[in-house]
């Protein structure tokens, strides 16, 4: 079994912001799996699917970004999952729009949602799909940037990236993190 979580903020005003990239990627995955992510559990919205005989729990924490770990740790504890069975999809300002970076473990890199997950799980040894949302503008602060919306051109790119991120998560399930890294790291979607 795998828990695949997409990070974001629950309020409608955040729906299409850069910080909700994880939610949008999880929606793309749910579409691929014909799964609805609506059940209220674990301080989040859940859906269950089967993929090539593997049970998947899709989760959107409704705790707001900075407390994402509470939701993910609750689900992981309930299902007795190891960190290696948890895949997290989230935004990353260190990469341009259109880039993915898969890692099997690592630090939070300044991302508050990831800090929360690492703190609540007591481990950073879980796979993650980092989705580039572009860096800060010249006179832009971090909060304004991540809570801002994509331009229409960038959103067209990101729709393709969400699908790629979903495929990357399924590749981790199918073939492992190393194969997903080989297949998806460094590629750029335009």
Instruction: Quick: pLDDT tens for 89-101.
Output: 999 998 888 899 9
Selected residue with higher pLDDT from 167 and 189:
167
pLDDT value at position 110?
87
Instruction: Quick: pLDDT tens for 132-185.
Output: 998 877 777 888 888 889 989 999 999 999 999 999 999 999 999 999 999 999
Please state the rounded mean pLDDT for residues 101-129: 96
| Residue pair 56/173 in contact by the 8 Å Cβ criterion | yes
Q: How far apart are CA 97 and CA 145, in angstroms?
A: 13
pTM of the model: 0.95
Q: How far apart are CA 50 and CA 56, in angstroms?
A: 6
- Active-site position among 19, 111, 139, 145: 19
Task: Give the pLDDT band of residue 88 (cuts 50, 70, 90).
Answer: very high
Enter the CATH code of domain 2-184: 3.40.50.1470
Please state the rounded mean pLDDT for residues 64-81: 97
SS3 90: strand
Instruction: Quick: pLDDT tens for 2-54.
Output: 999 999 999 999 999 999 999 999 999 999 999 999 999 999 999 999 999 99
Q: Domain residue spans in the chain?
A: 2-184
Annotation marks residue 139 as catalytic = no
Segments of 10-119 assigned E as strands: 39-41, 44-51, 54-61, 86-92, 100-103
Please say whether the dihedral angle defined by the alpha carbons of residues 42, 47, 49 and 51, taken in this order, is positive or negative: negative
Q: How far apart are CA 179 and CA 85, in angstroms?
A: 16
């Amino acid at each position: 079994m795998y828990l695949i979580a997409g990070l974001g903020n629950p309020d409608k005003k955040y729906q299409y912001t850069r910080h909700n990239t994880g939610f949008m990627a999880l929606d793309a995955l749910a579409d691929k799996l014909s799964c609805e992510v609506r059940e209220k559990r674990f301080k989040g919205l859940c859906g269950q699917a089967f993929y090539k005989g593997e049970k998947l729990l899709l989760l959107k924490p409704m705790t707001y970004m900075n407390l994402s770990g509470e939701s993910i740790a609750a689900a992981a504890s309930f299902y007795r999952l190891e960190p290696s069975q948890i895949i997290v999809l989230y935004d990353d300002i260190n990469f341009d729009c259109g880039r993915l970076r898969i890692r099997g473990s690592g630090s939070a890199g300044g991302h508050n949602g990831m800090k929360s997950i690492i703190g609540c799980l007591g481990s950073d040894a879980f796979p993650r799909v980092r989705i580039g949302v572009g860096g800060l503008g010249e006179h832009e602060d971090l909060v304004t940037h991540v809570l801002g919306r994509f331009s229409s051109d960038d959103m067209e790119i990101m729709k393709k990236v969400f699908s790629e991120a979903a495929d990357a998560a399924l590749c981790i399930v199918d073939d492992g993190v190393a194969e997903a890294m080989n297949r998806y790291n460094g590629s750029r979607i335009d």
